[in-house]
């Protein structure tokens, strides 16, 4: 097992053990994650503040990727607090560390590459958080139960996950609807829980946590300037290897290089409203 210390000393977690991730680990995927993080930042920040994240707290961010949620938590807790972001990808962690330096947070926001199944933190945290990570775990409740032992009394558990099938376009348009079907089928065939958001309540309870408070929010987009078209197209670009592997669609069918513009043209021609997948937040506190 790997042990990671949340302090100012170097972190040693042994060799990287990055494993399969539906969207891959390319530089383009890392850039997509940064753009996605900016796109939904306010929806995540709202959940963290509702959960009670505050200045001076020690926070663990699970599945931190390129660091968006860790850096957001770092802004909230400030230099009197500390944040540790963990992710299986050493390449993603390298990007997160660079971004922490650029944000001036590298003294209190730290990162480590490790598999969650083997991660054993030293010490306790005031909060354990995560965004779009439990959907990739085959059985998330035992992971939450195990890590909850590292929360102090009264500590916070807060996660935000997708309700992917709820995405839609009004009026219905063929290109968007085909993209929606491809994304859902690829994730499902790849073993990803596409309804992790609504399953958060049962997951918290199964993990032995107090029943969570919950809220859902989503981006609703339209017009020529919205990032929604690129959001869908770049998600499909990252999913293409998996889509071809599991037989959902081929690169020739997707035509990803022109997809964003085709989605834009289709939506503008009918003044369509795009409702992107809701993000469901759930949070609870351990008994004091």
Domains and CATH numbers, the chain: 2-285 (3.40.50.150)
**In this predicted model, what pLDDT tens digit does every residue of 187-241 receive, in sequence order?**
999 999 999 999 999 999 999 999 999 999 999 999 999 999 999 999 999 999 9
CA 171 to chain centre: 29
| pTM more than 0.85 | yes
| Beta-strand runs (E) in the chain | 2-4, 58-62, 82-87, 109-113, 119-121, 125-131, 151-162, 168-170, 213-217, 220-221, 273-275, 279-285
Q: Are 51 and 77 in contact (CB under 8 A)?
A: no
Of 88, 76, 74, 91, nearest to 27 by C-alpha is 91
- Residues 6 or more apart from 244 whose CB is under 8 A from it? 250, 251
Q: Are 117 and 86 in contact (CB under 8 A)?
A: no
Q: Please, what is the end-to-end C-alpha distance for the chain in angstroms?
A: 29
Q: Are 175 and 265 in contact (CB under 8 A)?
A: no
**In this predicted model, what pLDDT tens digit does every residue of 107-146 receive, in sequence order?**
999 999 998 877 888 889 999 999 999 999 999 999 999 9
């Amino acid at each position: 097992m790997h042990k990671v210390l949340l302090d100012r000393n170097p972190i040693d977690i042994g060799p990287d053990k990055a494993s399969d991730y539906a969207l891959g680990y390319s530089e383009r995927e890392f850039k997509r994650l940064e753009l996605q993080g900016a796109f939904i930042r306010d929806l995540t920040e709202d959940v963290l503040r509702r959960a009670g994240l505050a200045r001076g707290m020690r926070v663990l961010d699970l599945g931190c990727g390129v660091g968006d949620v860790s850096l957001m938590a770092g802004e909230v807790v400030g230099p009197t607090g500390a944040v540790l972001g963990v992710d299986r990808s050493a390449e993603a962690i390298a990007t997160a560390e660079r971004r922490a330096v650029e944000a001036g947070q590298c003294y209190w926001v730290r990162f480590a590459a490790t598999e969650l199944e083997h991660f054993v933190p030293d010490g306790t945290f005031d909060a354990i958080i995560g965004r779009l990570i439990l959907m990739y775990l085959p059985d998330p409740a035992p992971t939450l139960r195990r890590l909850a032992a590292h929360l102090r009394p009264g500590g916070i558990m807060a996660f935000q996950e997708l309700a992917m099938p709820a995405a839609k376009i009004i009026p219905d348009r063929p290109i968007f609807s085909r993209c929606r079907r491809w994304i859902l089928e690829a994730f499902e065939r790849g073993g990803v829980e596409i309804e992790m958001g609504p399953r958060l309540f049962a997951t918290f309870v199964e993990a032995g946590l107090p029943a969570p408070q919950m809220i859902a929010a989503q981006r609703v987009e339209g017009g020529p300037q919205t990032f929604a078209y690129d959001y869908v197209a770049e998600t499909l670009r990252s999913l293409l290897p998996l889509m071809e592997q599991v037989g959902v669609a081929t690169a020739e069918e997707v035509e990803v290089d022109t997809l964003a513009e085709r989605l834009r043209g289709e939506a503008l021609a009918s003044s369509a409203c795009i409702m992107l997948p809701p993000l469901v937040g759930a949070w609870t506190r351990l008994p004091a």
